[in-house]
Structure 1
Amino acid sequence: MTSRKLKPARAPYTGKPMSVRTLQWQYAGIWCVAIAMCVFTGIAVTGHASFKNTLLFIIAAASAIGMAIMLRRMLHERASIEAAWMGIRHNPLPFYAMDRDGRIVQLNEAAAASLGYEPSSHAPLGERFDRYVDASDIPLLSEHAELAASGKSTQIMIGLRNVSGEISYWKALLAPAGSVGCPVGCILIAQDVNERRRNDELTRHLTHYDDRTGLPNRRLFTEQLEVMLAAMEDNSDYDTVLTVCCIDIDHFKLINASFGHDCGDMLLLQIAGRLLRSCGEGDLICRMEGDKFGIVLMDTTGGEHSGEAILNLMAALEEPFELQGVPIHITASAGYSTSKQEPHGSDKLIRNANLALIKAKESGPNECQVYREEWDEASLERLRIQHDLRRALINQEFMLHYQPQYDMHTGAIVGVEALLRWHHPERGMIPPSQFIPIAEDSGIIVQIGQWVLEEACRQNKEWQDAGLLKIPVSVNLSMRQFWQPNFPESVAAVLERFGLEPRYLELEITESMTMDADKLTNSLLRLTDIGIGISIDDFGTGYSSFSYLKHFPIDRLKIDRSFVSDIEDDPDDAEIVAAIIAMAHNLHMQVIAEGVETAQQVHFLKMHLCDEMQGYYGSPPVPSERIAEMLAA
């Protein structure tokens, strides 16, 4: 902004009040004049003593003394003013005094320095102050300067540009200048807020952006999605559809474990860059958490190509990345929801996309799913069950049923499998298929599994103490429970607590546990050293192979019911069952067939020398009292 020309008649204010020394000399001079006036007046009237002359003498003396007293008061005031000015002059806060036209009439050293001048410079005097104010802040300054000039104090934040053009930010206090009720301008005292502003900007960046990838975080993502939804609603843009997508990198934990977290962070940075390049100009991408990214795609064709756009993003990640010179191939799972399904709430849109992502990951890696409304009730039901499971442990709502295992040739009961049942106080019996997966995911399966182990051992010991046939009880183990620290020692403690011999306990593991061969072998050896039997449950449905199994201390294989149920009708299943029995015997393992229901299945299994069977052909799972009756018969 161009400053106004100064009137030639107006001399710039020097900014220096009259010195105290000058006032002191004036004070001494006045006293001399007063004394002289008194002396000469006295001499003049002594020769002509009259009332008039005497009064004249008294008036002259009083006038001289009054002038001296007034000058002395002025001397004190000036001394105070000069002391105050010295304080202002050397104050680290910039101080400006301005007239009603906004011209600088006085400033201190800090003020001169803030404008880019030497501290002792008086160059800004007479200049309009708004010459140095950032153009966007001039209207704000003018408004508040008027308020100050009218007698009101106020505070604002303004940007100042010095003579070099550099901008800095100041918190300014504007107050009236002049006598009370008659202001002649305003004063401005400024405080540097650049450091605080930088800190505020840093704090804002940290609270809105991810520190590893530089992408917006979940908070900023949600805020911007709200803005985008509001803009669509305001413009009544019915052709534009926003697609909210959550993308999660498959098996990212394995990458972290193999290369370390620093390399994992570097991979996330590369993934973020690739996704950014694959998105359009109006799209939005963020890092939600961990290895999960959130994306908003703007589709102006009514949402017809949403799924195709998501698949293109997933395809962009299929090209190999490089970590430490090693090419890394990754896949991603994705779930998405569109503003057609939820046009108003950003949180609901993100929640729907997350739910779709969960469903995609349940289907396997490299899958993509679009949100379906029927999942809402399923999710709520899942949360209810998860909550009720914790209550069930406390309220003792769980119970065990036992299914007998029979010798294939003699028909005698040779063992029982403990099977968990949940009697819900409001819903009645809940099938294990409905609550076991939820217990696994939530982690409460560890506490439930411990209860099952303790109850099975207690019940078996109770049967033995009653003089019934001594048989082993089989207990299924979850992966979470099995990998607990010192699990073999905790099992030994349970056996000791109930006084059950280890040979009367058999633990069933799943094939998925055999993937970590070294860790599994170590744990199994510690269990078998105690004397506990080990079997592999649902054999044939997982990943294990006989080349691995020969290294494990396994006592029995349990052929999965899915093979047994079709051996009468499906030649392939019959061949698989026969092969499992033969190879298990070659490895000196016993074989038990699960899900046996017909006499034809029993005949086939006997013909192929299967050792034991379990299923409804012999008996369904029954309460402990019924098992006691069977053992006593």
Structure 2
Amino acid sequence: MTYTEARYPMIFDLSKHASSPTDHDWEIFQKLFPYMGAFLYIHTTREAYLDDNTFRILHIQKEHANGLLSHDRFTQVMQNITRNPVARQNQVYQYNVGSEQLQLRLSFVERDAQSWMGFVQDITHYNDGFCPMYQDAGEYDPLTHLYHRSAFIRRTEQCMRECPGAGYLAILHVHGIEQIAQQYGYSQNDRCVIAISQALRSFSSPQVIIGMRSYKEFMVYVGGSAAEQAGTIFQRMRAAISGCVITDDFGEVLKIDASDALTISLGYSVRTAGSHDLDALINHANFSVFEAMNERKDICAFNKARYEADKTQFRELQLFRRLVSDNAFTYHFQPIVSAKTGEIFAFEILMRAGDLPLTATQILRIAEQNKRLYAVEHATLFNAMHAFTEHQEALSDKKLFINGIPDHLLTETDFDLLQTTYGELLENIVIEVTEQSDVDSDLVDTLKARCTTLGCQFAIDDYGAGYSNTSGLLLMMPDYVKIDRALISGIENDSKKQRLVSDIISFAHENGISVIAECVET
């Protein structure tokens, strides 16, 4: 086999020896390490061969199926790479790709007397603070190298003045980041965001302005001549994010389940020629992405009729996002009184939205609709424990009941952080969950095992409502069962409720379960 016949001659000795690697092996390597490329230069033929990763990293066109580059073209590529060395970093260079700059590490090794090979590695995503392409780095987020919100607005307003024709303002929400973080640990959050921002930056131009609003939401304005291709640009952005490659700290590709892959909801509004009302465009795009998420659509355009019909629900979502992002939760302590002594035995901590007009029921509903229940679970546990430490003297040795969401348990990383932060205080905690027919029994077992590890206790909330049954109670075997208000309210005048509650109490006490009555008001 000659060099020009081989697809990847630079890496492997394609002999007939069984132990020699194959082209297929190199393809596997490329998939596992997408930020690493390799190339070979042959002195005798004055030819260079680049693998697919190298072409992709350098953003250059592949001219031949086997990766062949002429001597002159290869020399030009090497000159482009090495033109701007990074100070105080060995073999690291700034590499221009349009308006973007990458950091590349370049290394060479002599293969034999006739050839030498080299490796190029894109290390931009390893250096979060690197933002050399911008003289005013204060305009840009150091992690993503995208505009901050205020800078995005300034640049968009400038583009609207310079290009008074039609334009498109889009809000892009990325799904799947939390699922990946839960599977691989929250250290991967930044990796996901970096990969997403790299995909988006490839679309950036003076007429395509991209900004970061949060780690999972991005803003895009398409104006000028690019506006004619806005629909295509949005579709390509969607495909680029779905195809993002997420790597671990060693550059190895994470094996992400299809159900946890990155997807987007994109909502956009259209600027009419001559209009300069950017606030209205942003508000309408916000509503459109809300509609896209609710209707499970990839892309959704602003519709005024739907806006008028659904703006109350949209307003609730905005309030919820503010509640979570600002951690504006507040908590009330509801006393639990011993029927024997009349003394306060424990407190249940009740979640509230502070000054925001949202009830606890609304918070949970909105969180479920928008796949944010984990954020509520995380906030509840950590905030409740923080409140417990602040009121330790007043609470003394009282138990503290905290509502949990069994199908959105803390990740191992967050659970370890909770245990490390609050230590022995957790022994006074009772985690309560609502008995549900659709909760995975393995999750309940995990929750109970964690309670044992922490030294805390376990309770079933709202017993007697919905799915509650005796076999479920036996299966879960809690320390406490809280009888739902539906059975307690008006019990003094209802003999059927009295008999039913009496039977529950007798059964629970016979099995070592303490009983709490909810909402005793008379």
TM-score of the aligned structures, taking structure 2 as reference length: 0.46
TM-score of the aligned structures, taking structure 1 as reference length: 0.39
